[in-house]
Amino acid sequence: MDRLNQAVVFLGPPGAGKGTQAKELAKKYGVPHLSTGDMLRECIAKGTALGLQAKPIMERGELVPDSLVLKMVKQRIENADCSFGFVFDGFPRTVAQAQYFGELLKRCGYTQPVVVHFAIDPALVLKRITGRRMCKVSGEIYNIFERPTKVPGRCDNDGGDLEQRPDDREEIVAPRLAAYAKQTAPLVAYYRRLGRLHDVDAAQSVEEVSRKVLEIVRAPR
């Protein structure tokens, strides 16, 4: 089997399809697909020392501090299952995290990560997210713009009512996208300066984006 043998980071706004792509790439190479959200939930479920520290903070709805997140990332990537590479989805989020991550990777014998940047017009992402509708019966996801049902408001499979999830409403999504863009711009610039950033046009089809992602991670460097 092909080995990934590198740290790959997927960077992009919510709704750009990076989660799907990160999962697919990790599966293809048989390496872990990591996100700090999943890692935190796992630490809490297992009752690890870090989990016990993070739990009350998350329960209060507060942001888990960098020091804790970074400790958790360190422990996770030192795990044996990460020795042939791994795919990080949505981490690092800031330049400070990226700097620490770079040091950490060096100590683990890795170079700086290959960063796959999902570039997409914010207006298109907004349309993708606000257009989502979920069947109340089966949970099937449709999209009024990209994947409409035969009868508006009704699931094609079971005729169930379609609903918009509260988090997909424009008044929730638009500020989140704006905050994301503001927070991520310095990170994008940082990795671009290091020559590690690779742009992918995330407006393309899932298949086209997958092809491009593979091309990037397979490129000799």
Q: How far is the CB of 60 from Zn ion (least distance, A)?
A: 36
Q: Report the residue number, 14 or 160, with the smaller CB distance to Zn ion.
A: 160
CB of 140 to Zn ion, least distance (A): 5
* Catalytic site includes residue 133: no
192 is catalytic: no
156-163: list long-range contacts, CB under 8 Å, 24+ apart.
160/135, 160/136, 161/135, 161/136, 161/137, 162/133, 162/134, 162/135, 162/136, 163/133, 163/134, 163/136
List C-alpha distances in Å: 47 to 56, 65, 157, 174, 220. 12, 18, 41, 36, 41
Catalytic residue chosen out of the listed positions 93, 127, 154, 212: 93
What count of other Cβ atoms lies within 10 Å of the Cβ of residue 117?
23
Question: Which of 3, 165, 211, 218 is an active site residue?
Answer: 165
46 is catalytic: no
Catalytic residue check, 60: no
**Which residue, 45 or 141, has its beta carbon nearer to Zn ion?**
141
Q: State in angstroms the smallest separation of the CB of 57 from Zn ion.
A: 37
For Zn ion, which is the closer residue by CB, 122 or 160? Answer: 160
Interacting residue ranges for Zn ion, rule: CB under 5 A? 135, 137-138, 140, 155, 157-158, 160
Tally: H helices and E strands in the chain: 8, 8
Catalytic residue among 76, 132, 133, 196: 132
**Is 221 annotated as catalytic?**
no
Q: How far apart are CA 34 and CA 44, in angstroms?
A: 16
Give the residue with the Cβ less far from Zn ion, 141 or 189.
Answer: 141
187, 95 contact by CB (below 8 A): yes
CA distance 207 to 179: 29
Q: Which of 18, 128, 133, 196 is catalytic?
A: 18
41, 127, 154, 176: the catalytic one is 176
- Rounded to the nearest whole angstrom, what is the least distance from the CB of residue 24 to Zn ion in the complex? 25
Residues 55/60/66/72 CA torsion (nearest 10 deg): 10
Of 26 and 135, which CB lies nearer to Zn ion in the complex structure?
A: 135
Gap between the Cα atoms of 177 and 59, Å rounded: 24
The least distance separating Zn ion from the CB of residue 148, rounded to whole angstroms, comes to 14
Which active-site residues does the annotation give? 18, 93, 132, 165, 176
